[in-house]
Amino acid sequence: MADDPSSDNQQLLDRHCFDGVCHCDWRISIYDCQESVAMWYVNAVNIAIAAISVIIGLFMFVHRVFIKGHTLWYHPNALAGFLRPRPVDCMLLLFILYNIFRILSSAILMTDAVPGGWIVRSFMFEFSWSFGLGGITIYLIGVANSISHSNSTAGWLPSSRFLDIVGTVSLLGPAIFGIPLAIGAGACAENDLIKIAEILIRTSYFLWFIWVAGIGTSVLFAGIRLIRILENHHKRIHRRHSLTAVKSGINKIKMTVATFVICLWTFSGVLLSYCIARDKIIENPIGSIFIGTTWSILGSLTTLVAIVSIVFSPNMKTNPALLFNSKSRIQSNNAEDQEATIDTRPDQDFGESTVMAGAAVTFQDDNEALLHVIQENERMQQEHQLLKKSHSSKSKKSWKKFTRSLSKRDSDASSQLELTYY
C-alpha cells in the first residue's frame, strides 16, 4: 500500500491529508483516499480503451508493414531532408506503444504495485505520453512535408532543413526534458524532499503545456493549409468526375486534424491548471476526479479515434472517378480541346501496381484515391500544355522548362500522398 495516512495532517507527494481525510495524487497513487473508488474505475476504463486500441492497431500495423510491405521510413535525400517518416504507419506504431504503457501504468495503480516506489511510478506515468505526443508530431511532420513540396499554395513554405531540425526537436524534446524531471521528482519524494519534488513536477508540466499547446497550434494551421490545397484540386476537377471518394478523403483529414487539435488543446489546459493549482486540485474531490478522468482517458480515446479512422476506409473497387482510358489519350493528340484521360500510373514509391487502360482501379481507401486523382489531374493539365506548346512550335528551352515543371508537379502529388496514404 501507499504511505499510511494515519497522521491527521500531512502533505506527501502522493497525497494530502487533513483531519484524517486524505486526497490522492492519482498520477501515482489511488488508494486510501476519497477519490479511490472513482479513480479505480477511471483506470479500468482507460485499460479497456487502450486495450482495444492496441488490438486494432497491431492488426493494422501487421497488415500494412508485413503483408502490404510498407516501410516506416522513406529514403532521405538532399531535397526532401532526412526526416521522412511514413506518417500513418509511424503514427500507428507510436500509438500502439503509447497505449501499451498506459495499460501498464494503470495496472500498477490498480494493483498498488511497487508501493512507495515513486521513481518507478512517476516514470511509468510520464513515459507513455512521449509516445502519444510523438504519434501526433509524426502526423504534423507529414503535413509539413506535403506543404513544403507543394506548388499549389502561396506564402511561406518550410524548408527541408527547417523541418528536419524542428521535427527532431519536437519528437525527442518531451522525452529528453520531461522524463528526467519526473524521475527527479520521484527520487526527491523517496528522500522526503517534498518541496523540491513539487517544484520539479510544476516545472515539468509547465514545459509540457508549452510543448502540447505548440504542437496543437501547429497541427491546426498546417492542417488548414493542406486542406485548402486539396480543396483547390477538388474544385478544379469536380465537374469532370464523380468525386465522392475525394471529398470523403478531405473530410477524413479534417476529422483527424480536429481530433488532434481538440485533444492537444484540452490536454494543455489540464496541464496548465495542474501546474498552477496542483494543491487545490488534489484537495478538491470533484475537481480532482474531473481532471484525473480527463487526463487519464483523453489520450487513449484520441488514439482510438485515429486508429478507427484508418480501419473504416471503404475500398474503391470500381470508382468511376478514377477510370482512365488510353484510347481517349491517343485521341487527345488530335483534338486539343477534347477532354483527355490517361492510363493510371501510380507512384512506384508506394508499392502500387500499374493499372491497365479501361480497367477498374482498386484502392485501399478514400485518401489514396484522393491523392491519386490529384496526381492524374495535374498530369492531364500538363499534357494539355504540351499539346499547346507543340502546336505553337516552341523552342527546346521551353520544352525543358515544361518537363522540369511536370517533374516538380509529380513530386508535389507524391509528397501529399505520403501523408494521407491510409
Contacts of 152 (CB under 8 A, 6+ apart): 229, 232, 233, 412
Kindly report each contact of residues 268-271 with a partner whose C-beta sits within 8 Å and lies 24 or more positions away, as own/partner: 268/209, 268/212, 268/213, 268/216, 270/294, 270/295, 270/298, 271/205, 271/206, 271/208, 271/209, 271/212
Query: 338 to each of 95, 108, 309, 387, how far by Cα in Å?
Result: 48, 68, 39, 11
Q: What's the rounded Cα separation, in Å, for the pair 110 and 82?
A: 42
CATH code, domain with 50: 1.20.1070
Q: For residue 331, is it within any domain? A: yes
Do 257 and 380 have their domain in common? no
pLDDT at 377: 56
Do 280 and 355 have their domain in common? no
pLDDT in tens, 128-185: 999 999 999 888 887 777 666 655 555 556 677 777 888 888 888 888 888 999 999 9
| Lookup result for grid cell 483516499 | 33
Q: What mean pLDDT, rounded, does the chain reach? A: 75
Helical spans, DSSP H, in 277-395: 278-283, 285-311, 326-332, 366-391
Do 97 and 217 have their domain in common? yes
Domain that holds residue 375: 320-420
Pair 97, 168: CB distance under 8 Å? no
pLDDT in tens, 227-253: 887 777 666 665 555 566 667 777 778
What backbone phi and psi angles, to 5 degrees, belong to 21?
A: -105, 125
Do 237 and 107 have their domain in common? yes
The predicted model scores a pTM of 0.74
More confident residue, 287 or 317: 287
Q: Is 154 exposed, middle or buried (0-12, 13-18, 19+ CB in 10 A)?
A: exposed
Pair 200, 191: CB distance under 8 Å? no
Domains in the chain, number = 2
Do 102 and 177 have their domain in common? yes
Q: For residue 9, is it within any domain? A: no
Map residue 202 onto helix, strand or coil. Answer: helix
Q: What's the rounded Cα separation, in Å, for the pair 260 and 368?
A: 21
Task: Give buried/exposed letters for 201-233 (b at 16+ CB in 10 A, else e).
Answer: bbbbbebbbebbbebbebbbebbebbbebbeeb
Half-sphere exposure (Cβ direction) of 411: Cα atoms closer than 13 Å: 14
Do 339 and 263 have their domain in common? no
* Start-to-end C-alpha separation, the chain: 46
**Which residue among 276, 311, 346 closes a domain?**
311
pLDDT category of residue 195 using cuts at 50, 70 and 90: very high
More confident residue, 396 or 141: 141
Residue 360 has pLDDT above 50, yes or no: no
Do 223 and 182 have their domain in common? yes
Query: 278 to each of 21, 36, 275, how far by Cα in Å?
Result: 18, 18, 6
Do 136 and 197 have their domain in common? yes
Mean pLDDT of 36-43: 95
Q: For residue 107, is it within any domain? A: yes
Q: What's the rounded Cα separation, in Å, for the pair 153 and 156?
A: 9
Cell readout for 57 is: 492497431
Q: Which of 163-172, 211-220, 257-266 has the lowest mean pLDDT?
A: 163-172
Considering just the CA atoms, what is the radius of gyration of the chain in Å? Answer: 26
Cell readout for 337 is: 480541346
